[in-house]
C-alpha cells in the first residue's frame, strides 16, 4: 500500500562528542518509524582530522571508527561496530539509511610534500596573482594506523589540484597546484569564476588514479555498511561529469533503488537545472531556494506574499528531484550558511513540506530534538509530531490549492480510497486570524472535521457541497482531518 516517505537528517552541528550517536540512532529507530520517518540521513562516518570534527574534515574514508588514527579509534559519533549495529537496527524497523559522503577534499595529511603552485584570486580563481613557486603542502596521505587494510592506495600532491596552506612559510591562500595537464576542473559551478576549490587539499577528478580510487571506495563503503544511498556533500565543487559516472557505477553495483541526494547549495534555480542536466536528472537535490523562501518569510512576517512561496523553487519546477527542508546543520545560528528560519514560522514551513503532494521532505534533527552550541534551541517535537502524524495518516490523494490571498493560503488533499479517513485541509496565515473556504469533496458531506494541531478548538461540518470554512489563528497553521466514529 502506498505510504508517504519522510527523511530525517539525523544530526545537528553541535552534537556532543561522546561517541554515542550511533547508539542513539539504534535506540530511536523504533520511535521515529512510529512517527512516520522511514529514512535517516546520517552524518559522515569516516575518520577526520580530529575526533571533534563533525565529519567534513575527512582524513581516511576507509576508517569508520576502526583504527587508532588522529588520536582515537572512534569518531565523534562512535565506532565502526556501533555504526553497523545502528544501521542494522534501522533496517529492522524498515528505515533506510543514507550515508553522508565527503568526496571533495581531504584533510590532516600524514606528511608534507614540496610542489609548485601559483596563487589565484579568491574572487576569481581564473586570475593568477603570482609567479610559479614552491610550497610545502600537506598532501601526503598513507594512513599509518590502517597499514593498507581495505585499500593500499596512498595520496600525493599530484592527486590534488589545490590547497590553502604553505607549511614552510605559514602563508594561506588559494594555491593551484601545477603539473602536466593540471588545471581546475571545468565542469563545476561557475561562482568565483570556477568553484572547484573549496577547502583543504582539493581532490583532482581529472586524474585517472583518483577517479578509479573514488569509484572503488564508493562501492566498498556501501557494501561494508549496507547503507541504502548517499547524500553527496559539496557537489557543486566536484567535477559534474565524474558525479554522473559515479551515480551510474554505484547503481550498477548496488541496484537502481540505491538513492542519491546532493548538496548543491545554490539559491539560483537555473544553476541547479544546469547541474541536473549534467547527470540526466538522476539525483535529487536539496531545495535551497525553498529554504531561503522560508527564511525570508519568517523575517518579513505579514509583508511576505505567501502566494509566491513556490515560485522559482526546485519543488515548484522540478518536484521529482526536490528534497524539501526547513533548516539543516549549515543554516544553524553561527554556522557557515546561517539562515535560520524563525521559530514562529517553523510550523508553517513544516506543513508546507510535509503535507503537500510534491517533494521528498527532510525533517531536521535539530528542529525535532533541539540544537546546542552558542545559540541553543529547544526541540519542537510537540509541534512536529502532529504534522508527521498528518503526513503519515491523512495527507494523500490529489491536491487542490487555494493560493488566492497574500497572507492566508490553503490546500486540500482529497485522500485515497484504500486509506480510510485519509484526506486533509490545511490553512495557514502569516497575518491576522481568518479562514479559508475550501471544498474537500461532496462525498464527505456531513462529516465533522477538527484541527489536528489543536490550534483551533472548534470543529467544522462539511456542507452538502463538500465545503466548509476552515479557520486559522494569526501567524499559525491548522490541519483539519475527519473525526473518526471513536472520536465523535
Judge if 405 and 450 occupy the same domain: yes
What mean pLDDT is predicted for residues 153-175? 97
Same domain for 338 and 217: yes
Residue 487 lies in a domain: no
Separation CA 5–CA 282 (nearest Å):
19
Grid cell of 475 as nine digits: 501567524
Give me the active site residues, please: 233, 263
Work out the burial of residue 6: count CB atoms within 10 Å of its CB; fewer than 13 is exposed, 13-18 middle, 19 or more buried: buried
Query: Three cell numbers at 147?
Result: 597499514
Identify the domain containing residue 453 by its residue range: 399-482
Q: Is the pLDDT of residue 488 over 60?
A: no
In a domain, 455, yes or no: yes
Compute CA 189 distance to the chain's CA centroid, rounded to the nearest angstrom: 19
Torsion angle, CA of 289/480/421/485, rounded to 10 degrees?
160
451 annotated as ligand-binding: no
Percent of the chain, pLDDT > 90?
97
Q: With a cut of 80, say whether residue 429 has pLDDT above it.
A: yes
| Grid cell locating 145 | 594506523
pLDDT at 274: 95
Which of 307, 317, 242 minimizes the C-alpha distance to 285? Answer: 317
Confidence of residue 485 (pLDDT cuts 50, 70, 90): low
Q: Indicate whether 265 and 363 sit together in one domain.
A: yes
Residue 2: pLDDT band with limits 50, 70, 90: confident
Same domain, 184 and 232: no
Give the C-alpha separation, 216 to 278, whole Å: 22
C-alpha cell read off for 159: 592527486
Final residue of a domain: which of 207, 226, 253? 207
Q: Which residue has the higher pLDDT, 212 or 483?
A: 212
Q: Is the domain of 227 the same as that of 166?
A: no
CATH number, domain containing residue 184: 2.40.30.140
In a domain, 369, yes or no: yes
Average pLDDT, the chain: 96
Residues 317-342 have a mean pLDDT of 96
Residues 134-161, mean pLDDT to the nearest whole number: 98
With the CA atoms of 262, 266, 267 and 269 taken in that order, what torsion angle do they form, in degrees rounded to the nearest 10?
-70
Asked whether residue 237 is marked as a ligand-binding residue, the answer is: yes
Percent with pLDDT over 70 in the chain: 99
* pTM of the complete model: 0.96
Asked if residue 426 and residue 387 are part of one domain, the reply reads: no
Q: Give the domain CATH number at 344.
A: 3.20.20.80
Q: Does one domain contain both 230 and 321?
A: yes
Reply yes or no on whether the pLDDT at 10 is more than 70: yes
Asked whether residue 355 falls in the same domain as residue 446, the answer is no
Q: Do 46 and 156 sit in the same domain of this protein?
A: no
On whether both 351 and 379 belong to a single domain, the answer is: yes
- CATH number for 470: 2.60.40.1180
pLDDT in tens, 370-419: 999 999 999 999 999 999 999 999 999 999 999 999 999 999 999 999 99
| 104 marked ligand binding residue | yes
Structurally, how many domains does the chain consist of?
3
Mean pLDDT, range 249-278, rounded to an integer: 96
379 inside domain: yes
Q: Is residue 1 part of a domain?
A: no
Q: For residue 2, is it within any domain?
A: no
89 and 213 both lie in a single domain: yes
pLDDT of residue 420: 87
* Shared-domain flag, residues 216 and 199: no
Final residue in a domain of this structure, among 207, 227, 245 = 207
Looking at the domain assignment, is residue 329 inside a domain? Answer: yes
Has 186 been labeled as part of a binding site? no
Final residue before a domain boundary, out of 189, 207, 225: 207
Q: What are phi and psi of 310, to 5 degrees?
A: -100, 10
Taking the C-alpha atoms of residue 119 and residue 273, their distance in angstroms, rounded to an integer, is 32
- Which residue in 435, 440, 488, 436 sits closest to 464, CA to CA? 440
Task: Calculate the alpha carbon distances from 248 to 206, 257, 258, 279, 285 in Å.
Answer: 18, 12, 10, 9, 17
Please, which residues bridge with residue 426 across strands? 411, 479
Query: Could you tell me if residue 432 is inside a domain?
Result: yes
- Per residue in 177-234, pLDDT (tens digit) is 999 889 999 999 999 999 999 999 999 999 999 999 999 999 999 999 999 999 999 9
Amino acid at each position: 500500500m502506498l505510504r508517504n516517505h519522510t527523511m530525517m537528517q539525523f544530526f545537528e552541528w553541535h552534537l556532543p562528542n561522546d561517541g554515542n550517536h550511533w547508539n542513539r540512532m539504534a535506540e530511536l529507530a523504533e520511535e521515529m518509524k512510529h512517527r512516520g520517518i522511514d529514512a535517516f540521513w546520517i552524518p559522515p562516518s569516516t575518520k577526520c582530522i580530529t575526533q571533534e570534527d563533525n565529519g567534513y574534515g575527512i582524513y581516511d574514508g576507509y576508517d569508520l571508527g576502526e583504527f587508532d588514527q588522529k588520536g582515537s579509534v572512534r569518531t565523534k559519533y562512535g565506532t565502526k561496530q556501533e555504526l553497523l549495529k545502528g544501521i542494522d537496527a534501522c533496517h529492522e524497523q524498515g528505515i533506510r539509511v543514507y550515508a553522508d559522503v565527503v568526496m571533495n577534499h581531504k584533510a590532516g595529511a600524514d606528511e608534507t610534500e614540496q610542489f609548485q603552485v601559483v596563487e589565484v584570486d579568491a574572487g576569481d580563481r581564473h586570475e593568477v596573482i603570482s609567479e610559479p613557486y614552491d610550497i610545502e603542502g600537506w598532501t601526503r596521505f598513507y594512513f599509518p594506523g590502517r597499514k593498507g587494510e581495505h585499500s593500499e592506495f596512498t595520496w600525493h600532491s599530484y592527486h590534488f589540484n589545490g590547497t590553502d596552506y604553505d607549511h614552510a612559510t605559514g602563508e594561506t591562500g588559494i594555491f593551484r597546484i601545477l603539473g602536466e595537464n593540471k588545471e581546475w576542473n571545468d565542469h563545476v559551478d561557475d561562482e568565483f569564476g570556477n568553484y572547484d576549490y573549496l577547502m583543504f587539499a582539493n581532490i583532482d577528478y581529472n586524474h585517472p588514479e583518483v577517479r578509479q580510487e573514488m569509484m572503488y571506495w564508493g562501492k566498498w563503503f556501501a557494501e561494508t555498511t549496507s547503507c541504502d544511498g548517499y547524500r553527496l556533500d559539496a557537489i557543486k565543487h566536484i567535477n559534474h561529469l565524474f558525479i554522473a559516472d559515479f551515480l551510474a557505477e554505484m547503481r550498477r553495483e548496488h541496484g537502481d533503488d540505491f538513492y542519491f541526494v546532493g548538496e548543491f547549495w545554490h539559491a539560483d534555480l537555473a544553476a541547479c537545472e544546469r547541474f541536473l542536466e549534467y547527470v540526466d536528472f538522476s539525483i535529487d537535490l536539496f531545495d535551497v531556494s525553498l529554504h531561503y523562501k522560508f527564511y525570508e518569510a519568517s523575517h518579513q512576517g505579514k509583508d511576505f506574499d505567501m502566494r509566491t512561496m513556490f515560485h522559482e523553487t526546485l519543488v515548484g519546477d522540478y518536484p521529482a528531484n526536490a528534497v524539501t527542508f526547513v533548516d539543516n546543520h549549515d543554516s544553524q545560528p553561527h554556522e557557515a550558511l546561517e539562515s535560520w528560519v524563525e521559530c514562529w514560522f517553523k510550523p508553517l514551513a513544516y506543513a508546507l513540506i510535509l503535507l503537500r503532494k510534491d517533494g521528498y521532505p527532510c525533517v531536521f534533527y535539530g528542529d525535532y530534538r533541539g540544537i546546542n552550541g552558542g545559540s541553543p534551541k529547544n526541540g519542537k517535537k510537540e509541534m512536529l509530531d502532529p504534522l508527521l502524524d498528518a503526513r503519515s495518516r491523512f495527507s494523500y490523494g490529489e491536491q487542490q490549492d487555494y493560493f488566492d490571498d497574500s497572507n492566508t493560503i490553503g490546500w486540500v488533499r482529497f485522500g485515497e480510497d484504500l486509506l480510510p479517513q485519509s484526506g486533509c485541509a490545511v490553512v495557514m496565515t502569516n497575518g491576522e486570524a481568518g479562514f479559508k473556504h475550501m471544498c474537500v469533496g461532496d462525498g464527505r458531506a456531513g462529516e465533522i472535521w477538527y484541527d489536528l494541531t489543536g490550534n483551533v478548538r472548534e470543529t467544522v461540518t462539511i456542507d452538502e457541497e463538500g465545503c466548509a470554512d476552515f479557520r486559522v489563528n494569526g501567524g499559525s497553521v491548522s490541519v483539519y482531518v475527519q473525526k473518526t466514529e471513536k472520536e465523535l
